[in-house]
Amino acid sequence: MRTEPGHVTLYRQAMATDFSITIAYPDHQYARQAAAEAFRELERLEGRLSAFREDSDLARIARLQSGQTCVVDPATHACLQVALDVEAATGGAFDIAYRSQPHRAASKRIRLAARQPQVTVLVGDTDLDLGGIGKGYALDHLASILADWDLHCVLLRASKSTVLARHAPPERAGWEVRFGTATDVWTLSLREMAISGSGSDRQGPHIIDPHRGRPARAHRLAYATAASAAAADALSTAFVVMPDDAIRQYCQRYPDSAAYVVPAGSGLLRVLHEPPTMEAVALSP
Amino acid sequence: MTMQRRTFLQAGAAAASHLLVVSSQPAAAQTDGGPELRLALIGGGYQGRNLLSAAMAVGGVRVQAVCDIWEYSRRYCRSFLQRYDQEVQLYEDFREMLDKERELDAVLVATPDFVHEPQVSACLEAGLHVYCEPMLAHTLDAARSMIDSMRRSGKLLQIGYQRRSDPRYRHAQEKLIAEAQLLGRVTVVQTQWAQEAADLRGWPKRYLIPDEVLHRYGYEDMHQFRNWIWYPQYSSGPYGAFVSQQLDVCQWFLDVAPRTVMASGGRDFFTDRPGLDTVLSVYEYPHSLGPVRVSCAMLTTTSGDGTRQFERFLGTQGYLQMSDNPRWARIGREPNAPDWDEWIKQNYVVKQERVAAHAAKEDELDVHVSGEVEQYQFPVMTQASGCQAHLENFFQAVRGREPLRCPADAAFPSQVAAFKAIEAVQAGATVTFAPSDFTT
């Protein structure tokens, strides 16, 4: 835990990631207790979404044969729905089934029931990877619990890659978030918005282009903003895969999202799209 | 070796690596087994929500009512169940719920220990089967009264010691311990239940329960309502709640009740809480092959080395480490014990391949380090959480298709064992169990 004037920050490891919750609220004990409740929910969520637990929803889906259905937690269902939505919106550049063999997009492999949290597998051996969306989804979930506690001036992080901001801290326009590359640092004032970054800088070329089945080459790094952390998380992964034109087309259709990319072989961030209400500022000379 | 992710993600991998996928029926397929069971939940807190989630995953049930004195929990449960297209009636008072809900088959109880006895007994006497989270009750008299109600009513009372339904635990008890006697003579059992230091629990301010409501249901104030586990008037503390589950494993695996217990414990760190935050206890179990000493560590100030919960059975031929987290379950053969080839062939254990520091060349002697414990894996993989498997057993028992795996009278000895350890801490002396202690 770290306490600063007006803020308290709490940390928790889950989903092989460091999560943190920063709360601007004068009663730090109340804020700590709320964060503890949110982290308890995170534990539960990890049990459902984890690829490393044999009883998780994801593992259960992976064991289904073609045509079989299983009941999942509503949170798993909601996360899968966002994943399918982003897959559709990005023309398949984001695909949680990218490593299933033979390759068929997640939307062709699973069907989500509308009235109940049920998943039907259309093609057996469906191996889903929520690595590009699960942490963002978890942040959205944590924020909703903090809202129950009437804590709205909050900033939530999953590792250094995904950040979700709710209301601005008192007397500020937003939460200042830095992003970019080691040599090209930018800052953004974030409020009611999430930003997420993906790329090969930290983990090497681990993002697979679902269409080619090989590491993505369009961008070294990509950042995306969206109203939800799950969408921002998934979009940043897609933007690593998508060429500039495709990203611009996406942003024309969804103008509330911003897109920043670092081309392969470059150290400089480029702005592909920003909504009128948002302006990232370069800090480097 | 940690089981690789793809090992259990891929259905085909199970057969290839001799892993038995237990309860492989997808949940939706399990709903074919007769009419829906009509359920109510009393207690919609953290554990109650787990039960709801597990019940939905099992399928074939309809939750008709949820009772909780806290509006926050009632709202959560209603919203959760709506996602499954299940509309529920909400109640504050369980007696009102039992009066009005006349079509129930069974009730799930996940409330603080001190209200188990009135709630469970009332449900049983109303002709309903009950699944109750442990402990049975906050006193042994209350626990005995619940067992008495169970017997008088002829209804089922399952206690939520969910390890009894965990396929890995069942394999260990039935195959490895009872049948193959793989460990030889077990002389020592070590258990640990550890969690990192945590703040007392709070509540969203707008969901404060008025004092008159709290008093009506036996709580001093909102703080005690949220932190009941630390207050002796409501529960036997973390030791009862958590270590009793591990004592139940000892009772089940060793098939004998303890003879003595000595224990040390205190409010070593959390001086703002009346309950014990640290307890180390040592039991002696008079096994037919000779005494077994069981040490139990309950730690609420550290997660240990990260392996939070385990029960480790140490025998002359091998060891067995059980945990409700599959990552921490493992088996090992003592260096000089006879080989386990027969048990590998029968798929009782799976040998864990050792990774050589470097591959031996043709002209190089492949000399292994001697005196190492050979590591093995369980050939069992679970499809469902322990909670889900235990609930599934309860539902099947209600339908008359399986016996209960943990009826209240089977759970009682571990309640006694837990209470006596707390007594030993308070007395600062070894406590000897009398046969009458276990009488119900």
Best mutation site among A54, A77, A118 for testing chain B: the one with the most B CBs within 10 Å? A54
Flag whether residue B205 sits within 8 Å of chain A, measured between CB atoms.
Answer: yes
CB contact under 8 A, B201 and A33: yes
pLDDT at B1: 32
Distance in Å, alpha carbon of A53 to nearest chain B alpha carbon: 8
| A chain contacts of residue B57, beta-carbon cutoff 8 Å | 70-73
Amino acid B360: pLDDT: 55
Q: How many CB pairs under 8 A join A and B?
A: 104
- The partner residue sitting opposite A62, judged by closest CB among B9, B27, B326, is B9
Asked whether the predicted pLDDT for residue B341 surpasses 50, the reply is yes
Q: Which residues of A touch B199 (CB under 8 A)?
A: 29, 32-33, 36
Residue carrying the six token digits 């001036």: A153
pLDDT digits (tens, 9 = 90+) for B259-284: 999 999 999 999 999 999 999 999 99
Average pLDDT over residues B36-51: 96
> According to the 3-state scheme, what is the secondary structure of chain B?
CCCCHHHHHCHHHHHHCCCEEECCCCHHHHHHCCCCEEEEEECCCHHHHHHHHHHHHHCCEEEEEEECCCHHHHHHHHHHHHCCCCCCEEECCHHHHHHHCCCCCEEEECCCHHHHHHHHHHHHHCCCEEEECCCCCCCHHHHHHHHHHHHHHCCCEEECCHHHHCHHHHHHHHHHHHHCCCCCCEEEEEEEEECCCCCCCCCCHHHCCCHHHHHHCCCCCHHHHHCHHHCCCCCCHHHHHHHHHHHHHHHHHHCCCCCEEEEEEECCCCCCCCCCCEEEEEEEEEECCEEEEEEEEEECCCCCCCCCEEEEEEECCEEEEECCCHHHCEEEECCCCCCCHHHHHCCCCEECCCCCCCCCCCCCCCCCCCCCCEEEECCEEECCCHHHHHHHHHHHHHCCCCCCCCEHHHHHHHHHHHHHHHHHHHHCCCEECCHHHHCC
In Å, how far is A177's CA from the nearest CA of chain B?
28
Mean of the per-residue pLDDT values of chain B: 90
With beta carbons under 8 A apart, name residues in chain B contacting A124.
Answer: 11
- Interchain proximity B57–A72, CB inside 8 Å: yes
* Domain assignment of residue A70, yes or no: yes
Structural domain includes residue A200: no
Is B28 in contact with A74 (Cβ distance < 8 A)?
no
Do residue A47 and residue B9 have CB atoms under 8 angstroms apart? no
Q: What is the CATH number of the domain that holds B252?
A: 3.30.360.10
ipTM for this prediction: 0.89
Say whether residue A115 is in contact with chain B using an 8 A CB cutoff.
Answer: yes
Residue A46 lies in a domain: no
Residue of B nearest to A39 (CA): B198
**A63-67, B18-22, B133-137, B218-222: the lowest-pLDDT one:** B18-22
User: Are A68 and B85 within 8 A, CB to CB?
Assistant: no
Range of the domain at B345: 167-202+233-354+370-381+409-438
**Residue B29 to residue A36, Cβ atoms within 8 A:** no
Residue A280 located in a structural domain: no
Long-range CB contacts (within 8 A, 24+) of B385-388: B385/A47, B385/A55, B385/B54, B386/B162, B386/B163, B386/B165, B386/B166, B386/B324, B387/B50, B387/B51, B387/B54, B387/B160, B387/B162, B388/A55, B388/B54, B388/B57, B388/B58
Each residue of A213-243: pLDDT tens digit? 888 888 999 999 999 999 999 999 999 999 9
Cα of A62 to nearest chain B Cα, Å = 5
Contacts of B21 in chain A (CB under 8 A): 63
In a domain, B223, yes or no: no
Q: Which residues in chain B have their CB less than 8 angstroms from residue A141's CB?
A: none
Asked if B201 has any chain A CB less than 8 Å from its own CB, the reply is yes
Q: What CA–CA distance (Å, rounded) separates B326 from B94?
A: 36
- Residue A77, in any domain of the structure: yes
Domain presence at residue A66: yes
Residue A20 lies in a domain: no
Which residues of chain A are within 8 Å of residue B205 when distances are taken between CB atoms? Answer: 30, 149-150
Enter the tokens of residue B392: 């599934």
CA distance B282 to chain A (A): 31
Q: Which of residues 91-130 of B touch A (CB under 8 A)?
A: none
pLDDT of residue A5: 72
The reply to whether B280 falls in a domain is yes
B322-335 residue pLDDT tens: 998 888 899 999 99
Q: What is the pLDDT at residue B392? A: 96
Which residues of chain B are within 8 Å of residue A72 when distances are taken between CB atoms?
57
Residue B293 belongs to a domain: yes
How confident is the prediction along chain A (285 residues), in pLDDT tens digits per residue?
666 677 899 999 998 899 999 999 999 999 999 999 999 999 999 989 987 788 899 999 999 999 999 999 999 999 999 999 999 999 999 999 998 888 899 999 999 999 999 999 999 889 999 988 999 999 999 999 999 999 999 999 999 899 999 999 998 999 999 999 988 999 999 999 999 999 876 666 678 899 888 888 889 999 999 999 999 999 999 999 999 999 999 999 999 999 999 998 888 999 999 999 899 999 866
- Kindly state whether residue B175 falls inside one of the protein's structural domains: yes
pLDDT at A167: 97
Structural domains in chain B (count):
1
Question: Using one digit for the tens of pLDDT, what is the confidence trace for B172-203?
Answer: 999 999 999 999 999 999 999 999 999 999 99
pLDDT score of B23 more than 70: no
Q: Please tell me which residue, B424 or A284, carries the higher pLDDT value.
A: B424
Q: Between chains, do B10 and A62 touch, taking CB under 8 Å as contact?
A: yes
Is A101 part of the contact surface with chain B (CB cutoff 8 Å)?
no
Is A245 near chain B, with CB under 8 Å? no
Q: Does position B431 have pLDDT exceeding 50, yes or no?
A: yes
- List all residues of chain B from 380 to 439 with a beta carbon under 8 Å from chain A: 381-385, 388
Asked whether residue A130 is assigned to any structural domain, the reply reads no
Please give the pLDDT value at position B354: 67
pLDDT of A285:
60
Does A148 contact chain B (CB < 8 Å)? yes
Q: What is the number of domains present in chain A?
A: 1
Do the chains contact at B382 and A72, CB–CB below 8 Å?
A: no
- In chain A, whose CA is at the least distance from the CA of B208? A149
What is the residue range of A103's domain?
57-121
Contact between chains at B383 and A32 (C-beta distance less than 8 A): no
Long-range contacts of B148-153 (CB under 8 A, 24+ apart): B148/B440, B149/B120, B149/B121, B149/B124, B149/B125, B150/B124, B150/B407, B150/B408, B150/B409, B152/B124, B152/B125, B153/B124, B153/B125, B153/B127
Residue of B1, B4, B7, B9 for testing the chain A interface, max A β-carbons within 10 Å: B9
pLDDT of residue B20: 53
Q: Do the domain assignments include residue B6?
A: no
With bands split at pLDDT 50, 70 and 90, how would you rate the model's confidence at B27? very low
Residues of B in contact with A127 (CB under 8 A): 6, 9-10
DSSP H/E element including A201: none
Alpha-carbon span A262 to B329, nearest angstrom: 45
Residue B11 Cα, gap to closest chain A Cα (Å): 5
pLDDT at B391: 97
Please list every residue in chain A whose beta carbon sits closer than 8 Å to the beta carbon of residue B24: 63
Q: Is B86 on the interface with A (CB under 8 A)?
A: no
Mean pLDDT of B76-94: 97
Whether residues B382 and A54 touch (CB distance < 8 A) is answered with yes
Contact B28 A32 (CB under 8 A): no
CB contact under 8 A, B26 and A70: yes
Q: Give residue B71's pLDDT band: very low, low, confident or very high (50, 70, 90).
A: very high
